[in-house]
Structure 1
């Protein structure tokens, strides 16, 4: 039976990065969660850090939506499932509204979800009207909700901004510059080199979200109750039945590193491992003395550079992981996971710290991005989609088993991310979306016959 679920939904976007999309999305989620509504938040595009804030704000898991990486069918299925249980769906965009292929506007238009534009108006007046007019009318047929002006100096400033709009109905309010720190210029949600500091690292994270929600409650957008939110009601048709995933990892246990050093884990990737039949267990390279009993290991990305000394000091765990690798068992390491496997890392301050020495080579932190963007990895069993994003470089003598490529391109010897292979160990800067090829994923974790 074709069941369409109807639910208020917003895509929170902007003209560029750094406008305050994450703060506004989290504030909206927290505000309505406090009022007893069931809120589901999604993040558009690859991102591990913003979802920590959205999960804290909404009290519900946060999943990815990406027309290329996860695919339209996956997006449709997740949105329909959320609409069946939620009172409000929020989708935080990535970069600017029209930036890149398969951009945020494409997602909004494909699913008919109205766009809320967040604009940093701290240094502008009437020009806000031109920006809003451009965002709203640049593409014909774009579903539209309105604009929220961010980092506004006061009521007089807000009045100037509102007066510049051609359509007064576009105005959904103004937020002041928000901060809990003594330095009023410090952002409410602090940042570092890979993005926001994860919410679970800050003891006052919920206080920060409440401050944002309180400020939003004073705006026309924040004053909307359940009835008013129906202005943004969107229909989400039931997607066609999806092909079942063959249990290629049935009977196998996959151990996944999860702690402050290894925290870049998409919930969808864990779901895929489970759909493949694997039993998933978690462990901490920072705190555990040994691997749990397992057939394969996944070392996801994270911040090994911030915990290098502690990782190096846990020699008991290193011995356990070394025994796993020497036995020829599979290990898949992504970005930060790969970094920890190397002989040593040179940190931002110039210090060099010894690491696990399971992958010959050294890692050096950089001040600027070394790589960023969507990538795909073609294996014999299928093509994995994913992305790369790192501030370090790796110089390794390990054999290169494969290389990633840009979407729609073939891998080249001098381009893309190297996939190093030593026995059952495979490591790369590439972050994979497992559901894009369950067969290839199963091969990474040692499935027989793949």
Structure 2
């Protein structure tokens, strides 16, 4: 079985919010500036962190998830990356052992060394205990050390380093700094494209990391991170050309920005021609056979979307013509009659689906799920802060991923339109998990 070798590291943490993305971006930016070819991946379903990771590395960022994307897909992407990269960086998800599968599961499956990032802003000696616990909780994991984040001073850093049982595990400390902090909101990080100083923040983070042991690792030191990635024994089947000759219009702007690169690749592999448009700025739809409204932040742009009457008319004409529409999460939210933001402002939306959507302060749903449609079962996830009220009866609902349980009912799949041509759900699909099922979302006469 062929293989390819390359230094690789999985950046993990004891919990969310510790600074994994900042460190992964800083490491990627630092090595990219040195002229190295860096490939970065994100563990688990995530649309936001990859935007920053891609900006830092200058290369596309794909997801790795042993269930959602599949073990064979993970193996193939890592093997391909190792053939061309000087360094592979994988950003973990949540805490190291959180989720089914977890970042630890991914690291163990592919032999990835683990760098743990710990927000040490409110601790001293406990830093050592937490590090020891992470490194000894499960056998069979490779650890490459620990980096302290949001450290108050050089004196604080000394206390943290001295708390470690094994001093060789110390990879340094990043001081607390607004210069490279990455701002957040209700769904995660603010998109890098929304910030004029995004690259300056990444460069500042890389400069800070360059002062640490981690940032000063040379080629010899990186040998400790060497990983041999085997080509998968089972090849990923070629996608059937079920969408040959079909043109799909894809919404893509600040309001509709949750797009997996692999999903676009999957549709194109099935023969689809993709054209992009902006519901915020455009007055007409591109000439197309089907429409995809992905997730994003329509609630942040509700007033602008509501004011674009020409786009509302174009969407209505597309639906009346019986052309397929696939709308997921944010894309579904704008299809309802109205949307109420978290501050209580109500905006009239596109009126394709009867009912209303209301944003709330607390999380409404989160987790890996799957859904059965024509052609088979699609894997994916859900993550949203809004709820909808509608007289529509769900055509079906999502189910929990194997080994998981849902809290309450699964996400509804609504089917509407004059020919049942509109399909909408809070569910975010990983289209490559079942191309035939994915194709059914964009074809006529499929339930």
Shared fold by TM > 0.5?
yes
Structure-1 separation of matches of 2:430 and 2:158: 45
TM-score by length of 1: 0.96
Match for residue 103 of structure 2? Answer: 104
Instruction: Say whether 1:192 aligns with 2:185.
Output: yes
Match for residue 157 of structure 1? Answer: 156
Instruction: Say whether 1:394 aligns with 2:388.
Output: yes
Give the deviation of 1:449 after TM superposition.
Answer: 8.3
Change (3 A) 1:378 1:155: same
Residues 421, 445 of structure 2: 8 Å contact kept: no
Residues 414, 425 of structure 2: 8 Å contact kept: yes
Deviation by residue 1:137-179 (Cα, 9 ceiling, x = unmatched) = 1111111111001111222211111111111111111110121
Instruction: Say whether 1:441 aligns with 2:441.
Output: no
Structure-2 separation of matches of 1:430 and 1:413: 15
Give the deviation of 1:195 after TM superposition.
Answer: 0.6
Instruction: Specify which of 238, 245, 259 is matched with residue 244 of structure 1.
Output: 238
Instruction: Say whether 1:427 aligns with 2:424.
Output: yes
TM-score by length of 2: 0.96
Residues 332, 444 of structure 1: 8 Å contact kept: yes
Match for residue 215 of structure 1? Answer: 208
What is the correspondence of 1:294-305 to structure 2 with a 5 Å cutoff?
294-305=288-299
Match for residue 266 of structure 1? Answer: 260
Match for residue 403 of structure 1? Answer: 397
More displaced stretch, 405-414 vs 222-231: 405-414
Change (3 A) 1:195 1:63: same
Structure-1 separation of matches of 2:200 and 2:43: 25
Q: Which structure 1 residue ranges, 5 or more long, are not aligned?
A: 181-186
What is the correspondence of 1:223-372 to structure 2 with a 5 Å cutoff?
223-240=216-233, 241-372=235-366
Structure-1 separation of matches of 2:369 and 2:232: 27
Change (3 A) 1:137 1:172: same
Give the deviation of 1:127 after TM superposition.
Answer: 1.4
Structure-2 separation of matches of 1:190 and 1:263: 17
SS of match in other structure, 2:249: strand
Change (3 A) 1:10 1:86: same
Residues 403, 412 of structure 1: 8 Å contact kept: no
Structure-1 separation of matches of 2:21 and 2:139: 26
Change (3 A) 1:424 1:448: closer
Give the deviation of 1:412 after TM superposition.
Answer: 9.6
Give the deviation of 1:408 after TM superposition.
Answer: 2.9
More displaced stretch, 78-87 vs 220-229: 220-229
Residues 400, 406 of structure 2: 8 Å contact kept: no
Deviation by residue 1:188-247 (Cα, 9 ceiling, x = unmatched) = 100111111011100001111111111100000000123321220111111233221110
Give the deviation of 1:17 after TM superposition.
Answer: 0.8
Structure-2 separation of matches of 1:233 and 1:222: 17
Q: Which structure 2 residue ranges, 5 or more long, are not aligned?
A: none
Give the deviation of 1:124 after TM superposition.
Answer: 1.2
Match for residue 51 of structure 1? Answer: 50
Deviation by residue 1:65-120 (Cα, 9 ceiling, x = unmatched) = 01110010000011111111111111111110011211110000000000000011
Residues 374, 440 of structure 2: 8 Å contact kept: no
Deviation by residue 1:394-418 (Cα, 9 ceiling, x = unmatched) = 1112231110011138999961001
Give the deviation of 1:41 after TM superposition.
Answer: 0.8
Change (3 A) 1:70 1:343: same
Structure-2 separation of matches of 1:26 and 1:304: 27
Residues 357, 387 of structure 2: 8 Å contact kept: yes
Give the deviation of 1:128 after TM superposition.
Answer: 1.3
SS of match in other structure, 2:214: coil
Residues 43, 63 of structure 1: 8 Å contact kept: yes
Give the deviation of 1:25 after TM superposition.
Answer: 0.4
SS of match in other structure, 2:175: coil
What is the correspondence of 1:87-166 to structure 2 with a 5 Å cutoff?
87-166=86-165
Deviation by residue 1:299-353 (Cα, 9 ceiling, x = unmatched) = 0000101111111111111111111111111100000000011101111111111
Residues 26, 53 of structure 1: 8 Å contact kept: yes
Match for residue 68 of structure 1? Answer: 67
Change (3 A) 1:96 1:283: same
Residues 162, 168 of structure 1: 8 Å contact kept: yes
Two-structure CA RMSD over aligned residues (Å): 1.7
